[in-house]
């Protein structure tokens, strides 16, 4: 319109008339950049863009720390876990969560905010406050219980779903009669086709449980159907995950920073084919959900009865019942067993490293030892004989009448013979007798 054009022209004139030496900066902010006039984005005007997106995991942790610095936090508080559970939240949401958690702590007469307070605040911001004064009939409580158990059970049966954190049938102020809370193990920026498919099956699990148990359906699956339709449409029109359309892009996103949806950029005939493809995909996932729940009917009945009795169960309670019925080991118990096994292995290794007792002697070794003892006993006799022979030799020299040769021959005979028996024995130290010693 004319007024808009006049405003734009005046703004452009003012920006072009600034003297660059004055040090004036012109800043602007918008959440709809696609509607800005191209003249505003030319070089020399708003040519530098700074995109302020929703904070990632690290950013949410830092924002929580900023808002929690003036709040007394309990030692059990783990802000990383809170940040992981609040994917998509902006700074104002996180500030509100810290504030609500502090209010809850004061209401319960506690000086410090606990992890439980923070998770309760997260739920309050996401789905509203609890409305325990809203009385549902027994039949409605049963329907809602089976609906939520249908979601949770399919998530547990799948390998690509996020772990269940909580299941409740307590109504909330934002209209939810019950819900299942999932907390991812890590923040992800990409999703595979299999993950999106499993997400569709999980979303339709509540409706499938209603039809399977009661033979009828209710309006409780409205939000689930809306989410499933959006995911299926994006898979076909934007993500190239359709066998029929292949890699063809059929839609563009509008108002991305305002959470805008996709707008089809194809002909009416192709749009009708897209609708058919979306319906076929949703029907396939719905049939898969019913088949999975029908194969686990007893487990679903047990979980629903437990939820009706408790109204709210944690993810640990849910998985405990699931593992007991499936005969699966508890990961924590399995971890303890592995640690015990490692400790016992270390003890065994230590026991093996201790010095072992000397093995029993073999007959050959015993004979060698006996020969060594004999040699030790003979050596003193040899020395004694040699000592006694020396003075005789001196006497022989002093008395030339005695035959010297005879005395020289007879004196060493005994020690030579004894020494010969010791050193020349075939079983002496240098014999080739096999030995067990190494």
With residue 37 as reference, give the H or E element that holds it.
Answer: none
The pLDDT, as a whole number, for residue 45 is 84
Statement to judge: residues 143 and 181 lie in one domain: yes
The whole-number mean pLDDT for each consecutive block of 10 residues of the chain, a chain of 438 residues, reads: 86 76 81 86 85 92 95 93 92 95 95 94 91 88 97 95 94 91 90 96 98 96 96 96 93 77 89 96 98 97 96 95 91 70 63 52 60 61 50 43 38 40 36 35
DSSP category for residue 53: -
Q: Is 300 exposed, middle or buried (0-12, 13-18, 19+ CB in 10 A)?
A: buried
368: Cβ–Cβ under 8 A, 6 or more apart, which residues?
427, 429, 433, 435
| 50 vs 64: CA distance, rounded Å | 23
Q: What six digits make up the tokens of 196?
A: 């999106």
Closest alpha carbon to 305 in 167, 109, 103: 167
Residues 353/358/360/365 CA torsion (nearest 10 deg)? 120
The pLDDT, as a whole number, for residue 263 is 87
Q: Does residue 229 contact residue 171 with C-beta atoms inside 8 Å?
A: no
Domain boundary among 93, 127, 161: 127
Please check whether residue 437 lies inside any domain of the structure: no
The pLDDT, as a whole number, for residue 371 is 65
Residue linked to tokens 């050596």: 379
Statement to judge: residues 83 and 227 lie in one domain: no
Statement to judge: residues 36 and 165 lie in one domain: no
Tally of structural domains, the chain: 4
Q: Give just the sign of the alpha carbon dihedral 279, 286, 207, 183.
A: negative
412: Cβ–Cβ under 8 A, 6 or more apart, which residues?
389
Residue linked to tokens 């707008």: 263
Domain boundary among 127, 146, 173: 127
For 115, the domain range is: 57-127
Around Cβ 196, how many Cβ atoms within 10 Å? 17
Catalytic option among 2, 75, 130, 148: 148
Please check whether residue 146 lies inside any domain of the structure: yes
pTM summary value: 0.72
The pLDDT, as a whole number, for residue 225 is 98
Please check whether residue 357 lies inside any domain of the structure: no
DSSP category for residue 411: T
168: Cβ–Cβ under 8 A, 6 or more apart, which residues?
148, 178, 179, 181, 311, 312, 313
The CATH number of whichever domain residue 288 belongs to comes to 1.20.58.760
Q: What six digits make up the tokens of 285?
A: 């996932």
Please check whether residue 217 lies inside any domain of the structure: yes
Statement to judge: residues 308 and 245 lie in one domain: yes
Statement to judge: residues 223 and 317 lie in one domain: yes
Statement to judge: residues 248 and 379 lie in one domain: no
Statement to judge: residues 142 and 123 lie in one domain: no
The CATH number of whichever domain residue 82 belongs to comes to 1.10.8.60
Statement to judge: residues 192 and 285 lie in one domain: yes
Please check whether residue 346 lies inside any domain of the structure: no
Domain boundary among 127, 152, 177: 127
148 has catalytic annotation: yes
Statement to judge: residues 63 and 155 lie in one domain: no
Residue 202 in 3-state DSSP?
helix
Statement to judge: residues 255 and 157 lie in one domain: yes
Please check whether residue 50 lies inside any domain of the structure: no
Statement to judge: residues 318 and 277 lie in one domain: yes
Statement to judge: residues 90 and 149 lie in one domain: no
Q: What six digits make up the tokens of 405?
A: 């040769």
Q: Is 97 exposed, middle or buried (0-12, 13-18, 19+ CB in 10 A)?
A: buried
Please check whether residue 339 lies inside any domain of the structure: no
Please check whether residue 344 lies inside any domain of the structure: no
């Amino acid at each position: 319109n004319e007024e808009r054009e006049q405003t734009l022209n005046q703004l452009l004139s003012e920006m072009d008339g600034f003297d660059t030496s004055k040090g004036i900066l012109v800043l602007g902010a918008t959440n709809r950049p696609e509607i800005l006039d191209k003249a505003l984005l030319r070089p020399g005007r708003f040519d530098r863009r700074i995109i302020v997106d929703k904070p990632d995991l690290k950013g949410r942790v830092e924002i929580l720390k900023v808002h929690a610095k003036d709040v007394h936090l309990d030692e059990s508080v783990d802000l990383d876990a809170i940040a992981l559970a609040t994917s998509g939240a902006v700074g104002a949401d996180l500030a509100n969560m810290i504030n609500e958690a502090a209010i809850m702590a004061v209401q319960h007469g506690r000086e410090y905010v606990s992890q439980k307070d923070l998770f309760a605040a997260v739920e309050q911001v996401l789905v509203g406050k609890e409305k325990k004064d809203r009385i549902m009939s027994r039949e409605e409580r049963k329907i809602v219980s089976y609906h939520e158990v249908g979601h949770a059970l399919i998530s547990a049966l799948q390998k690509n779903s996020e772990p269940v954190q909580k299941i409740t049938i307590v109504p909330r102020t934002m209209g939810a009669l019950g819900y299942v809370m999932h907390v991812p193990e890590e923040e992800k920026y990409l999703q595979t086709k299999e993950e999106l498919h499993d997400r569709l099956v999980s979303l339709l699990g509540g409706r499938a449980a209603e039809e399977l148990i009661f033979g009828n359906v209710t309006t409780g699956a409205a939000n689930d159907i809306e989410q499933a339709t959006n995911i299926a449409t994006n898979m076909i029109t934007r993500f190239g995950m359709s066998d029929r359309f292949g890699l063809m892009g059929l839609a563009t996103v509008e108002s991305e920073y305002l959470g805008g949806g996709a707008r089809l950029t194809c002909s009416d005939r192709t749009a009708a084919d897209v609708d058919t493809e979306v319906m076929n995909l949703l029907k396939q996932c719905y049939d898969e959900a019913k088949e999975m729940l029908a194969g686990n009917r007893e487990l679903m009945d047990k979980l629903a009865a437990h939820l009706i009795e408790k109204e709210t169960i944690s993810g640990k309670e849910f998985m405990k019942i699931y593992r007991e019925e499936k005969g699966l080991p508890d990961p924590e118990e399995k971890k303890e067993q592995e640690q015990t096994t490692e400790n016992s292995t270390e003890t065994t290794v230590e026991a093996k490293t201790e010095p072992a007792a000397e093995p029993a002697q073999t007959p050959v070794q015993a004979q060698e030892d006996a020969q060594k003892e004999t040699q030790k006993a003979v050596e003193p006799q040899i020395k004694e004989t040699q000592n006694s022979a020396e003075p005789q030799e001196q006497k022989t020299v002093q008395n030339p009448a005695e035959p010297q040769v005879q005395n020289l021959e007879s004196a060493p005979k005994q020690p030579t013979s004894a020494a010969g028996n010791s050193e020349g024995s075939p079983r002496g130290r240098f014999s080739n007798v096999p030995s067990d010693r190494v």
